[in-house]
Chains A and B, each alone.
Chain A
Amino acid sequence: MAMKTVVAALLCSMFAAGVANAAMVTNKDGESAILVIVEGESRIEVVVDSGATEMICPSGCFVTAPSGDHIGLQGDETIEIVNGSVVVK
């Protein structure tokens, strides 16, 4: 019984702690943007619709913006896409 409580408590705390830790990308442009994200071993394309907000790379990554600029992210930033270019707040 005690075990169960511990597990439940841990579970809750983990979820609470885990959610905060990721970069938020918001697309301010009129059209959806494709970001190429290099995270871990894989290179994945993430579509951010116009006005949408996505959570990306919780543990640091590199992002290639539609403008062609490469930037490094630590994983706790808030980012906006303006005119195809990435702006870190």
Chain B
Amino acid sequence: MHSAAKLTVLSIAISFVVLTLAGGGTATAQQAAQPQHAAPATPAAAQPPQPSPEGQPAQPAPAARGEADNAPADASPLLQQAEDQLDQADQELKRLADRVGAAADDDTLLAELKVQVDELSKQIISASVATRSRLDEIKARLAELGDPPGEGQPPEAAIVTEERKRLLAERGAINALTGRAENLSVEARKLANGITATRRALFSNTLLKRTEVSVAMLSEAITTTADESRALWRSVSSWLTFAWNYKRIPFLTAIFLSLCGAMIFLVGGYRLFSPFILQHEEQDEPTYFRQLSLAFWSTLIPTMALIAFAASSYFFLSSFNVLRPDIAPIIAVTLGMGVAVFFVTRLASAVLSPARSSWRLVRVSDRGARMLMVPIFAMVLVNGLDYLLGSISDSLGSPVLLTVAKSFLASIIIGLILMAMAWIRPTLRQDEPFDAPGRPWPRVISVSLLLLGAGLIAIALAGYVGLARFIATQIIVTGAILVTMYIGILTGRSVSKQGAFAETVGGRYLERRFKLEQVGLDQIGLVAGLGIYALVALFFIPLILLQWGFQIADIESWVYRFVTEIRIGTITISLVGLLAGVLFFAIGFVLTRWVQRWIDGNVMARSRVDAGVRNSIRTGIGYIGVGLAGLIGLSAAGIDLSSLALVAGALSLGVGFGLQNIVSNFVSGLILLVERPFKVGDWIVSGTTEGFVRRISVRATEIETFQHQSIMMPNSLLINASVGNWTHRNKLGRSEISVTLSYASDPRRVIDVLHEIAAAHPMVLKNPAPNVGFTAFGDERMTFELRIYVADVLTAGNVRNDIRVSIYERFRDEEIGAPFPVKVEDTTPEEATPSDIEIPAAEEEKAEIQPEESETRRRSFGTRSSRR
């Protein structure tokens, strides 16, 4: 539905344009036909062709001269004299043009030459004015002679025909002469305007050129202003009259179409971005990011619409041939200035937001915001008008003096406005509401405003008008750019704030579309913020530099040099090279990972390679790939690999001293990969460390103990010390369970029962078969040991558990006795104690130690670890 409506609107607009272009075409055709209508008005017998308006000044002249020779004797001297004057003027003009070309930098000489050229163009006009009386005579005589007789009328006397012919020829000659004078005068004017343009450029481009500022100069400026305004009024009104009378339809259509373009932009922009604007306006307490986005869009959309209006109206006016060469630059500059003033004002009002304090981007009082808007607008307007009037002077060819005077005035006004701004009291304390009266600027700002304004006025009064104008323009334009930059930076900062990105439209979209977590969004927000900073720097710093008169080529070469070679002493660093190095390394890294995965997943998994080998190969490929990528990256970064030899030399010295450990660990890691004494997942014991191997990396091997403590064991330790591996060739493992019984039990019976229990367990291997050993005669007990083999040593713990439970139950059921140490009544006779007295001290010590020893031994039997 929407697209259909849009299509209709579009087709209507296109047909309208086509119709109007056709109308404009006919208008031009009419215009072209007008001289042809005019031509019959001149007597048909006029022999010399009308000189074409443009160019060919010399061509008709010989013909005219030839005719003039035939002309009566009384007309000839007058024409001849004018002809000579024009020849002279022509030569003079050429001479002056040469001198102007030679004196392009000398302002004084140019000014003198300008006077001479003006004089010359007066002479040219007066030369042609001299022929006017003769033309009047001829016209009067021709009127007396009347029109030649038409068809069927009686023929007139031959002498009359002859005279008419002669008069018409002379009239043609005079017209040709005037045409030549016209062309010469145009050339002279072009030269004069060229001189003025050069002088104006000298004025604008030479900052430190002093101009005498005096009352006489100002009064002359006022005279020229009056002249210029009349000239402007005449140009514009004659153009408007002409356009209205003869090109009404194209003129109105151009304006209508450009208004349509602006409307489309405005409405389209607001509709497209209404979620950014309307929804926000309803809120009373907007977040800072929303304030910023509102400021941004509410500045951008109307400005874009206005730009569309300006560009399209200029485009349509010029394509419908409504514009005239002298009007076109004035219109263009007026439109451009309108856009610039509107943009800066809009920006200021978006930042200050005088009406709604909650949307204000800077913390100033209500009254301060309103007051600040005035000088900002005034300064922009004055500066814009300065430029507008300057280019009007340019297109009208007004004297340079006028440009100087206008810039002088503009600088002084801007200086005064700056000084006035120092007295505004906009600032607020943190705790004050927006409608508080406000406090004066901080001292630094007010003083610098005053100094800036006073300095500007002083510079202008001292005669350095060019400099004053430059500074005034810079204050406004650079200020506007800096404010925009500041807003951009604030945007970046508020986007990268924690949790801020998730609030934005883009953040919400990403959250919906890719189901991102808060942390991911925050990271994206950080990247987005940095991106905004980069964009701001990339866009606005060149803009400011351009403003300061640097050329694009300069900036390009700076950037190029900055990117390709930064010299620090004798070292040259190339950012592009470094970036390329990093890029190549990244590509190599990704490629390595991909190859690793492919070989591991496709090739080795299908060929059923042992997991340890797989791991080794994968890690080896990883090392080789990363090493290669590093080398490629280094050479891409422009670092000479031969200079690495030096580094290697230094490193080898370092290896001798401090890096020894690290290198030996690295080499040990490589050996571990090749030799494979253990692989990931193995259960190893080294020294006091026991656990599963989780990862074998360059320097250390990660071992996870049974308590899930990760231990990084340096590879060199694993190589140098003995390492026990429970699961090296296979996972077969032996496990022992010791059983202690009192001497009351029957050992054979016990052994049989233990055999039965072991055989009954499904996870105990039949081969190697379990066996039972009668291992020790204790003081009170016999010790048996049941040795079983399990296929997977990792399951041994569970098997032992099961078997212990079974042993306990069977022994209890069969009343064999408790398979564990029971508190035994100490049957040591008490009567031994009296004999203590007889025993010598040394003996007594032994006796004391003995029971203790036996006690310890007994205890150690009881608590013997039987984990395996």
On A, residues with C-beta under 8 Å from B are 3, 6-7, 10-11, 14-15, 17-19, 22, 32, 34, 36, 38, 40-47, 54-56, 58, 60-62, 64, 66-74, 84-85, 87-88
Contact = CB atoms under 8 A, between A and B. Distances in A.
A72 B129 contact: yes
Given A42-B326, A44-B324, A73-B125, 13 more contacts: A7-B218, A7-B219, A42-B324, A44-B238, A44-B326, A60-B121, A60-B125, A62-B182, A68-B50, A69-B42, A72-B132, A72-B181, A88-B136
B241 A47 contact: yes
Interface stretch (B171-179, B547-555, B645-653): B171-179
Contacts of A62: 125, 128, 178, 181-182, 185
Pick the 7 closest A-B CB pairs, nearest first. Answer: A72-B128, A70-B178, A42-B326, A62-B182, A68-B42, A60-B125, A14-B226
Contacts of B128: 62, 70-72
Interface stretch (B186-194, B666-674, B846-854): B186-194
Interface string B104-146: 0000000000000000011011111101100110010000000
Given A14-B222, A34-B34, A70-B178, A42 B325 contact: yes
A61 B182 CA distance: 8
A38 B41 contact: no
Contacts of A17: 223
Contacts of B215: 3, 6
Nearest to A18: B226
Interface residues of B, number: 57
B325 A69 contact: no
A42 B190 CA distance: 9
A21 to B, nearest CB: 9
B246 A47 contact: yes
A85 to B, nearest CB: 7
Nearest to B131: A72
Contacts of A85: 139
A45 B326 CA distance: 11
Contacts of B523: none
Interface string B418-431: 00000000000000
Given A18-B227, A69-B171, A74-B129, A46 B53 contact: no
B543 interface: no
Given A45-B242, A58-B231, A38 B185 contact: yes
A47 B242 contact: yes
B397 A40 contact: yes
A53 B110 CA distance: 38
A69 B246 contact: no
A72 to B, nearest CB: 3
A40 B234 CA distance: 13
24 contacts: A6-B219, A14-B226, A15-B226, A18-B230, A36-B53, A38-B186, A41-B325, A42-B326, A44-B324, A45-B238, A47-B246, A58-B227, A58-B231, A60-B122, A62-B182, A67-B41, A68-B38, A70-B128, A70-B182, A71-B132, A72-B124, A72-B131, A72-B181, A85-B139
A18 B223 contact: yes
Contacts of B185: 38, 60, 62
A66 B225 CA distance: 33
A88 B324 contact: no
Contact of A69 (B122, B135, B227, B397): B135
Interface string B428-452: 0000000000000000000000000
A11 B222 contact: yes
Nearest to B396: A40
The winner among A67, A84, A87 for most chain B CB atoms within 10 A is A67
